Structure 1
Amino acid sequence: MKNLILIAILFTSLVACSQEKNNKFIEVTGSAEMNVVPDQVELEIILTHPGNSKQAIDELDRELKEALAKNGIPESALMFVEVNSPYYWYYRWWWERNYYNSKTYQLKLDCNKYNLDFIKDIKSEYINNIRIVKSTHSKITDYRSEVKVNAMIAAKEKAELLLQSIGEEVGCVIEIVELVEPQNNPYWYYNDMSLTSNCIVPQTDYNYSQMETILQSIKLRYEIKAKFEIK
């Protein structure tokens, strides 16, 4: 009976030692990033016209639609947002009220087909503000996957490098954790850092066809935390 108990104790100790030996691991973090030039943009266009008549608003619509048509941009890419009629008061010997009708539009552009040259065909006195409020890429999902894979590869390479320095080898992966990082759109409306750089100033001599010089690139960055066995 005593021999059986002794054998059981020795067996338990050997199993514990074996488990302890096999539980050696290394935990590392790998990262990767990519800069992507957008091929899809969303513009906010604010046009103003003096006067408080419906004809003033119609004139703004006509001016913008003609500019788009001249540059081959379909009207379906344009969406109406809102109309505002703020008051401006001027006092002299008597008072008078001047209206400035303002209309806001949203325009979605495929940069592979169209550019911003249509801006030149809008009367400058009608333009209140034009800015990029959103940008993306048609293959952004594929690019995100590629960056994540590269981050995982970087994690394994780091583990191999560290273990080689002490004469060890990487074993099977034990755990993979994707570390979440905020993906900020450089043109997001409420991003105060971008409000000074996303406005487009109309210039008759500017080449708006070079979209890559106008658009800010989208930075994709991911980190992967991985745990590997040590052989």
Structure 2
Amino acid sequence: MIKLRLFVVAIAVFIGHIVSGQTLIAQEEKPHIDVVGTAEMEIVPDEIYLSIIIKERYEGKEKIDVESQEVQLRNSLKEIGVNLNNFYLSDANADFVKIKWRTKDLLSQKDYTLKVDGATTVGKVFMQLDKLKIYDASIWKVYHSKMDSLKKETNIKAIKAAKEKADYLLSALGEQTGKVIWVNDSGASLSPVLYANSNERLDLSYGKFKNDELQFQKIKISASIQVKFYIK
């Protein structure tokens, strides 16, 4: 009697596995469509980071130290409306670095970063640098202050594009888009816009900015999202 009960239970379990397997197969074989939606957005950077290196130098026999040049630069930046909180040492622990400068004397330098909000301000800054004879400066990178929200907006456009693609493809077959099965978001990506390591270093001559308006490469945000829908 015990053996018979065990045999019945074993059959029930086996049948249960068969039914479960058939259910899974049925789910996997249910008609679906797999599409990829893409979106792009180009934005004008509103955060421009400049790399500025102030070095000790000689004018005739007079040595112009870093401290006096820094004071002059800070005053010049303040005159053109630059927030001095955005002018800081590139390294929080930066200190004088000994380098050689045209002569055998050991001279010092300081590396700074300056963040400004547009091309017009960049031009003004470089004009001041030119007047102060601070020539070792370049655009380091550009960015946008609302980058996170712009990435989200691009992702939303990409997933809507996926739904629109599924709709028109299925409508051509007389079918309709059903519920979402899954979404694969590869994440929004940015086209790199780096200047310090490229050939796009700016000429610091005054004439460069006197009549010409600076133009910056736009930042491109791209998104690609794969979505699988059931077919009704």
TM-score per shorter chain, which class?
A: 0.7 to 0.9
Partner of 2:204: 202
Please state whether the residue corresponding to 1:86 is helix, strand or coil.
Answer: strand
| 2:209 counterpart SS class | coil
- In the alignment, structure 1 residue 84 sits paired with structure 2 residue 94: no
Partner of residue 104 from structure 1, selected from 72, 97, 111: 111
Structure 1 position 61, deviation (Å):
0.6
State the Cα distance separating 1:75 from its structure 2 match: 2.0
Using the alignment, how far apart are the partners of 2:63 and 2:209 within structure 1?
A: 34
* 1:70/1:118 contact within 8 Å kept: no
Runs (5+) with no aligned partner, structure 2: 1-14
Return the alpha-carbon distance in structure 1 between the equivalents of residues 89 and 107 of structure 2. Answer: 18
Unaligned runs of 5+ in 1: 1-7, 90-95
Structure 1 residues 54-69: aligned runs within 5 Å: 56-69=65-78
Provide closer, same or farther for how the CA distance between residues 209 and 149 of structure 1 changes in structure 2, counting only shifts above 3 A: farther
How far apart, in 1, do the equivalents of 2:228 and 2:211 lie?
48
Residue identity matched to 2:105? N
TM-score, normalised via structure 2 length: 0.74
Asked if residue 72 in structure 1 is aligned to residue 81 in structure 2, the reply is yes
What is the CA–CA distance in structure 1 between the aligned matches of 2:168 and 2:212, rounded to whole Å? 43
TM superposition shift of 1:184: 4.5
Q: Aligned partners of 2:119 and 2:203: how far apart in 1? A: 22
Q: Is the 8 A contact 1:116 1:209 kept in 2?
A: no
Quote how far apart the aligned CAs of 1:32 are: 0.2
User: What secondary structure, in the 3-state scheme, does the structure 2 residue paired with 1:72 have?
Assistant: coil
Distance 1:20 1:66 in 2: 71
Where 1:38 maps in the other structure, the secondary structure is coil
Q: Is the 8 A contact 1:42 1:135 kept in 2?
A: yes
Q: Distance in 2 between matches of 1:123 and 1:99?
A: 24
What letter is aligned with 2:199? Answer: T
Q: How far off is 1:200 after superposition?
A: 2.0
Contact 2:50 2:113 in 1 (8 A): yes
**Counterpart mapping for 1:172-211 below 5 A:** 172-180=179-187, 182-187=189-194, 195-197=198-200, 199-207=201-209
Answer yes or no: is 1:154 the counterpart of 2:155: no
Find the aligned partners of 2:211 and 2:82 in 1 and give their Cα distance. Answer: 13
TM-score by length of 1: 0.75
Q: Deviations over 1:117-167 (max 9, x none)?
A: 022122467334222223221221221111111101111111112212222
Question: Relative to 1, partners in 2 of residues 1:115 and 1:205: Cα closer, same or farther, differing over 3 Å?
Answer: same
Q: CA 1:204–1:123 in 2, change beyond 3 Å: closer, same or farther?
A: closer
One-letter amino acid matched to 2:75: E
The separation in 1 between residues aligned to 2:157 and 2:35, in whole angstroms, is 14
Which amino acid in the other structure matches residue 76 of structure 1?
N
Residues 184, 209 of structure 1: alpha-carbon distance in 2 compared, 3 angstrom cutoff: farther
Question: What secondary structure sits across from 1:103 in the alignment?
Answer: strand
Cα root mean square deviation, aligned = 3.3
Structure 1's 33 and 102: CA in aligned 2 closer, same or farther, altered over 3 A?
same
- Identical-pair percentage: 24
Q: Residue type matched to 1:75 in 2?
A: L
Amino acid at match of 1:196: N
Shift of 1:43: 1.1
CA separation in 2, counterparts of 1:165 and 1:174? 21
